[in-house]
């Protein structure tokens, strides 16, 4: 495990009323997760159905915009470090401006100008591509700045995990809200609600605990976090584990519809149980952190996920109720993936002597890897399904067996590789040392 040489100045959670500081910092996670669903999930379907956008061209536009978004994340991280080095107020002001662009961008994507729609597919997709790239960039600025702020709060392992848990638990609430609101209230009300939640989240963040100053107010330029061996090791575990989690997320509806042959009415229940279980499990996992440490607690979550998906491989048509149990158990395991890796990274940043200087750079690469996980999941799972003969709606035994292997067995293999990497690269690794020329704090 990444050892803690000493407990750093504790974050607000040790002070009376510490939960208020956690809520103030973490509340912005709710609208940021809320907007991710329409941006990444609803948008393709909306353009295809409402505007008859060609699927192949729409897919290319989405791929290009998301590719630009992922590549920019490390640069955005460096920029956020420079803003924070100038002053916390400057960083908050830039985040506020980016939040405004994000809200306007979402409206522009869901409700393109009538003249653009009337002009045909090419102008519409050009509009979508440009606005999407701007909106994704604004989203990345706000989210990277927010994550880096949390890492600067410091604290020991338990305190850092609570910081991340507040943000991620509220993020799960945002996902659940976003899954329901567009159907119940419509897209217009969804955008207005998002804008209000975003303003409230920024306001609460601006009144949260100010990060501890390291005494070094200049972000170190020119040295990439990827040059730090300890960061590369932790990032490798994060990518393996994240891909293992993203594969079933990509394939879950195929599994439910074809392997389980479950009613479409149950699909929201499966997703709701999954995310709700993750949120409810976080406090339980956090109780284990002081006893086991962050890395070993994360390892326990990986083991639970492997056991759960191994059992899911035995399910078949008519096992919808049992799959609800699978969703609950895999959601519980997800709680460790959400709360603990970011806390491990925050501790590593401190050990490397980077607190107050390079959090944005580290979280920029971290977010790049998270988006890479989604791309790897689709890139691994979907071609494999097609190659081995599965197509949506299939009912023959061979095709369904292929689907089960992709949905259940492949994630187990990747989770086991991630667990082995966690033991070898993190738990048994030598303690990281601070970069020479940057005193540790």
Q: What is the rounded distance in angstroms from the CA atom of residue 190 to the CA atom of residue 321? A: 31
| DSSP structure class, residue 432 | P
Interatomic CA distance for residues 383 and 395, integer angstroms: 19
Q: pLDDT (tens digit, 9 = 90+) per residue, 74-98?
A: 889 889 888 988 888 999 999 999 9
CB atoms within 10 A of CB 195: 19
Q: Which two tokens stand for residue 106?
A: 């979402």
The CATH class given to the 223-432 domain equals: mainly alpha
pLDDT of 14 over the 60 cut: no
Token pair of 343 as six digits: 């806390």
Residue that is written with structure tokens 């379907």 in the block: 45
Are 167 and 201 in contact by the 8 Å Cβ rule? The answer is: no
Alpha helices in 313-358 (DSSP H): 320-351
Domain boundary assignment for the chain: 21-210, 223-432
pLDDT value for 346: 81
Mean pLDDT of 44-51: 77
Measured distance CA(124)–CA(53) in Å, rounded: 8
Report the C-alpha dihedral over residues 293, 351, 278, 193, rounded to 10 degrees.
160
Cα 192 to Cα 215: distance, rounded to the nearest angstrom: 41
- Structurally, at CATH architecture level, domain 21-210 sits in Up-down Bundle (1.20)
Rg (CA), the chain: 22
Is the pLDDT at 385 greater than 80? The verdict is no
- Nearest-angstrom CA–CA distance, 388 and 393: 15
SS (H, E, C) 249-262: HHHHHHHHHHHCCC
- Which range has the worst mean pLDDT, 380-384, 407-411, 424-428? 380-384
213: confidence class by pLDDT, cuts 50, 70, 90? low
Mean pLDDT value of segment 402-407: 89
Which has more confidence, 438 or 172? 172
Residue 194 has pLDDT above 70, yes or no: yes
pLDDT (mean) for 360-364: 84
Pick 42 or 353 by higher pLDDT: 353
**Predicted model pTM:** 0.72
Backbone angles phi, psi at 263, to 5 degrees: -65, 145
Alpha helices in 38-120 (DSSP H): 43-50, 55-86, 88-110, 114-118
Q: Which residues contact 64 (CB under 8 A, 6 or more apart)?
A: 129, 133
Using CB atoms within 10 Å of the CB of residue 118, give its burial: 0 to 12 exposed, 13 to 18 middle, 19+ buried: exposed
Sequence length of the chain is: 441
Angle between helices 410-421 and 294-312 (to 10 degrees): 160
SS3 12: helix
Residues 96-141 have pLDDT tens digits of 999 999 999 999 999 999 999 999 889 999 999 999 889 989 999 9
CB count within 10 Å of CB 299 equals 23
Considering only the C-alpha atoms of the chain, give the largest distance between any 2 of them, rounded to a whole number of Å: 65
Same-fold call for 21-210 versus 223-432: yes
Q: Which two tokens stand for residue 69?
A: 């978004």
- DSSP calls for 184-228: HH-HHHHHHHHHHHHHHHHHHHHTSPPPPP-S--SPPPS--GGG-
């Amino acid at each position: 495990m990444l050892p803690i040489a000493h407990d750093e100045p504790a974050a607000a959670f040790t002070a009376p009323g510490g939960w208020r500081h956690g809520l103030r910092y973490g509340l912005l996670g709710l609208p940021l997760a809320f907007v991710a669903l329409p941006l990444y999930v609803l948008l393709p379907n909306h353009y295809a159905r409402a505007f008859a956008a060609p699927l192949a061209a729409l897919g290319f536009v989405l791929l290009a915009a998301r590719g630009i978004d992922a590549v920019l994340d490390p640069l955005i991280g460096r920029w956020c470090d420079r803003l924070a080095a100038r002053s916390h107020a400057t960083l908050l002001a830039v985040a506020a401006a980016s939040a405004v662009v994000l809200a306007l961008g979402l409206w522009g994507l869901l409700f393109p100008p009538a003249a653009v729609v009337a002009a045909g597919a090419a102008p519409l997709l050009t509009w979508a591509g440009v606005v999407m790239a701007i909106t994704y960039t604004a989203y990345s600025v706000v989210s990277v700045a927010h994550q880096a702020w949390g890492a600067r709060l410091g604290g020991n392992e338990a305190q850092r995990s609570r910081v991340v848990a507040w943000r991620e638990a509220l993020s799960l609430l945002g996902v659940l809200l976003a899954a329901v609101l567009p159907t119940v209230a419509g897209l217009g009300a969804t955008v207005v609600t998002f804008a209000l939640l975003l303003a409230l989240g920024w306001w609460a963040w601006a009144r949260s605990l100010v990060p501890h100053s390291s005494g070094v107010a200049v972000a170190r330029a020119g040295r990439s976090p990827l040059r730090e061996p300890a960061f590369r090791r932790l990032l490798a575990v994060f990518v393996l584990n994240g891909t293992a989690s993203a594969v079933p997320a990509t394939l879950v509806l195929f599994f439910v519809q074809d392997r389980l042959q479950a009613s479409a009415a149950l699909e929201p229940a499966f997703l709701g149980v999954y995310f709700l279980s993750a949120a409810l499990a976080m406090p339980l996992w956090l109780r284990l952190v002081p006893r086991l440490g962050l890395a070993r607690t994360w390892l326990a979550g990986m083991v639970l996920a492997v056991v759960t998906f191994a059992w899911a491989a035995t399910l078949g048509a008519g096992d919808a109720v049992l799959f609800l149990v699978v969703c609950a158990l895999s959601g519980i395991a997800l709680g460790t993936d959400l709360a603990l890796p970011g806390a491990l990274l925050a501790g590593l940043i401190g050990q490397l002597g980077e607190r107050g200087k390079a959090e944005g750079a580290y979280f920029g690469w971290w977010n790049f890897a998270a988006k890479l996980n989604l791309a790897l999941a689709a890139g691994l799972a979907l071609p494999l399904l097609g190659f081995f003969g599965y197509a949506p709606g299939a009912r023959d035994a061979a095709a369904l067996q292929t689907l089960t292997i992709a949905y259940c067995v492949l994630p187990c293999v990747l989770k086991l590789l991630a667990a082995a990497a966690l033991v070898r690269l993190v738990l048994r690794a030598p303690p990281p040392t601070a970069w020479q020329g940057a005193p540790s704090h």
